Chain A
Amino acid sequence: MADVTITVDGKKLTAPAGALLIDVCRKAGIEIPAFCYYPGLSLQAACRMCVVRQEKVPKLQTACTTTVAEGQVFITDSPEITQARKATIELLLGNHPLDCPVCDAGGECELQDMTFKYGAGESLYAEAKQHREEQQWSPAVFYDRPRCILCYRCIRMCGEGMDVWALGVQNRGASAVIAPNGGDRLDCEQCGMCIDVCPVGALTSGSYRYKTRPWEMNHVSTVCTHCADGCKVTLGVRQSNDGSAIVRADNRDKSGINGDFLCAKGRFGFDFVENPERLSKPLVRNAAGKLEPATWEHALRVAAARLKEVRDSRGGSAIGVIGSNVTTNEENYLLQKFARAVLQTNNIDHERTTDYSAFAHALAGHTGRSASLREIAAAPAILLIGGNPTEEHPLLAWELRTNVRLNRARLYIANTAEIKLERQAKAVLRLSANGYTHLPAYLGGSDAAIANTAFREALLAEESLVVIFGQEYRGAPVEELVQWGVNRPNVRFAFLGDLANSRGAADMGLLPSLLPGYVPVTTPGAFAAEYSGMPTAPGKTHPEMLAAAANGQLGALFIVGANPVSSLRSDPAQLKGTFVIVQDIFLTETAALADVVFPAASLYEKTGTITNTYGDVQLVKKGADRAGTKPDFEILVRLAGAMGVDVKALVPFGKTGMTADLGQSRGAQAGEADRHAVWLAARGLEPKLSPFDPLAALDEIERLVPAYKLDRPNLFGGNDATTDPGFVPVSALSGPDLVTPTHNGLFTSGTLGYYSDSLKDLQRHQTPARAETAAD
């Protein structure tokens, strides 16, 4: 809309006509207090805190509902307004208990801040305050009625934001209460958004309440370790007996790709790090065949000696390596480099949940065709094929709902089953069981298998389109679908994966036939010079490795953060003859069979980057600390060191002591340059100082993987940096039949979820055993 000029407190402000005064003022740095106003939600005008004086208008106006028009004059700060706000607070405090010293919100409470600001600490009201007992609505949500100021934020967030509509307001006036849909319990998605938006301490979190105060915590912004959406999460960390403990997770400053949003897993599922079953000492199998605690030095020595022995006597092909979906890009990169350059094997894989290699293959040569999450959040038209974002990608579902609600985006859904997001959809195409394979042809104009021309016509009429497709697609069908889109202008794609860094694991080459950036091992190109001694024949996939172990063909198996014994349901006896090294957070079924177990740090206890399923790279920062564990990166470097490898060749750290050779020298080294030093110098970067600094590996990733051209100021500023798989020069399909989606829902998260008591509590709450509900 056309811009208008208004005057606020004597300052001229320019804003689009029709913008809300409160937004215009806040943008210009003029503070307008408000309890009920919440950006992005419908207007309530319930709290009367945002009152301002408008020239020629007899009464004070609410800034949250006043739209700006040309020539308006406002005053936002005057004795009159201060008095009005003070009176409002006095009324709010009429029934609000002054239990700030024990209240969770104390220190970050909007009512407390306003009371301090407007000085309504004393009241003329002498009446007794209404008291009601607090209620527990679910393991996650508690409600303390006396503290509630009836701002309706929770109700609107739950309804409009989450499309759950589980909260309402009942009764009238001073006896009004917020009520959950289940009478005395909350039947909802347990996202905790209501707690997050509560301006006071009326809604409190089961996992955080009465534990600490906001100023006693360090607040560390990192990335959630659960699903593949990669929400930014702020961990509230406090010192504990064995390191430092996470007491809270939220998105405190509303920054990052998820803005306000966090789901139940991100908000409550951090407690697996505190699980008493957490590994905290290296374990080595003793002569009696029992795993017993050992020192790091001993465990590293045993593991390194055996790896070296197997490599030297039986060759690299007798070693297998299985990586993780939740370790950082740097760790994944280092693991595959360690496998290829040190162990000299291409037997490296991970438990694939999505066929990202097919996606990269399909996009090869087409830049600007993959959609980042921010692009999805702002896209005018979206086609969602398969998947169920509400359950498996809560952030994506949130962004789609928000985009439809606020920007009137048009959402088209094609699915075999009915999904909740259809409530936001403009059109739905119900597919038959094998409909996904027919879809590319249908989109291309064929009515042979799917007869619904209206849906296709609406879709094709869109000027630009983001196509999001689920794990139903793998292998050749991915190619067909993407092919349809790349032939049209303005079509972008996103592929839905499963775990926190599944995309990163594939991008970093934890695949037997593909190097980082999906470069085939058979034509390694630049990697041949980087990874000296690297074999060029594709290695074994992870089921093949376990089969080889059963046949006695595998001398050693090195597993980082994976549990193939459980996921492949393989017979534990298969691993009897193989020396197994496991790095993990917990003693999983696989770790229990290992000969050496290293206790690893979780994603919340390390630094690095991870890539979400949309290819957005984000910085992971060390929040908590757990005594006895080490990040996988450090364990790998130490293991390589214990094997007698030149660590500098593995992790480029420190000055090499050689300046770049621009071709003057002769002999075997002619034309050889320290490529890394040249690359760093060209970008004005310093070499990293420590071999344990994962960012040294990030430098190398950026140098070698064309898709990872990272916007560093953005990345290190705590934002997402996009990658573009379209840069990939060549690649090949890699075993689509090996893809096994985990389909984690709102309260499950593989091994991590298994060790998270709060997620298990929520799951139990969602499926109540009716027989157990006692009458008392």
Chain B
Amino acid sequence: MSSETMTIFSPKVAARFDALVQKYPVKRSALVPMLLYAQDEVGYLSDAVIADVAARIGITELEVRNVATYYSMLRFKPAGKFNVQVCTNISCMLRGAYDLFDRFQDELGVGHKGVTPDGVFSLEEVECIGACCWAPAIQVNYDFHDDLTPDQVPAILDTYRGKAKAEGTAAHA
């Protein structure tokens, strides 16, 4: 397929997509997993991602958007390098999730769906992340941090700031 040679994805993800579209009786069943993998790689569903995915599945870009806009975990704007997702559903809420969320807002200086000016963090209030037993819990990208108090927030953020700096210098070196 000519679309493969034009792809915007890394060889690994592109290969994964090629396998995915073959996996189901109808190609479009692969749409949602593809969108998730694409978002992980690119950071968000850009117009280019939507066009590429549509071409791979053989549906219109409009159809991709119809599906993608349904899900709140798929985004159309870049998030920060580390996306802080604070659960505020009932267990977490009862154990102080809103205090935690407020502390994140204060520390980061951004609100729900906000991105810090340096692009390192973004903040999101999310629905249940399945960590009720250890509430209140947050998820930073795919890492969990649980049984938190607001005072632990600066330390968590510092860890990730350090990671960002390390990767930044590594990239420059």
Contacts and interface: CB of A to CB of B under 8 A. Distances in A.
B61 A172 contact: no
7 contacts: A166-B62, A170-B69, A170-B70, A172-B69, A172-B70, A179-B62, A180-B62
A166 B61 CA distance: 10
Interface string A172-197: 10000001110000000000000000
Contacts of B62: 165-168, 179-181
Interface of A: 165-172, 179-181
Nearest to B59: A165
Given A181-B60, A181-B61, A168 B70 contact: no
Interface in B51-77: 60-63, 65-66, 69-70
Interface of B: 60-63, 65-66, 69-70
Given A168-B63, A180-B62, A181-B60, 18 more contacts: A165-B60, A165-B62, A165-B63, A166-B62, A167-B62, A168-B62, A168-B65, A168-B66, A169-B66, A170-B65, A170-B66, A170-B69, A171-B70, A172-B70, A179-B62, A179-B65, A179-B66, A181-B62
Contacts, number: 25
B105 to A, nearest CB: 24
A518 to B, nearest CB: 48
A433 to B, nearest CB: 27
Interface of A, secondary structure class, is: strand
The 10 closest A-B pairs by CB, nearest first: A168-B66, A170-B69, A181-B62, A168-B62, A171-B69, A172-B70, A170-B66, A170-B65, A165-B60, A169-B66
B73 to A, nearest CB: 12
A166 B62 CA distance: 8
A165 B64 CA distance: 12
Max chain B Cβ within 10 angstroms of own Cβ: one of A166, A167, A180, A181: A181
A169 B66 CA distance: 6
A171 B65 CA distance: 9
Nearest to B61: A181
A511 to B, nearest CB: 48
B126 to A, nearest CB: 15
Contacts of A168: 62-63, 65-66
A219 B60 CA distance: 39
Contacts of A170: 65-66, 69-70
B161 to A, nearest CB: 34
A168 B59 CA distance: 12
A601 to B, nearest CB: 44
Which of A166, A170, A179 gathers the greatest number of chain B CB atoms within 10 Å? Answer: A170
Most buried by A among B60, B62, B63, B70: B62
Nearest to B69: A170
A152 to B, nearest CB: 11
Contacts of B60: 165, 181
Nearest to B71: A172
A185 to B, nearest CB: 12
Contacts of B69: 170-172
B144 to A, nearest CB: 26
Nearest to A171: B69
Nearest to A181: B62
Contacts of B65: 168, 170, 179
A532 B105 CA distance: 99
Nearest to A167: B62
A166 B65 CA distance: 12
A661 to B, nearest CB: 73
A170 B60 CA distance: 14
Contacts of B66: 168-170, 179
B135 to A, nearest CB: 26
Contacts of A180: 62
B37 to A, nearest CB: 21
A166 B63 CA distance: 9
Contacts of B61: 181
B60 to A, nearest CB: 6
A169 B67 CA distance: 9
A181 B66 CA distance: 10
A16 B53 CA distance: 44
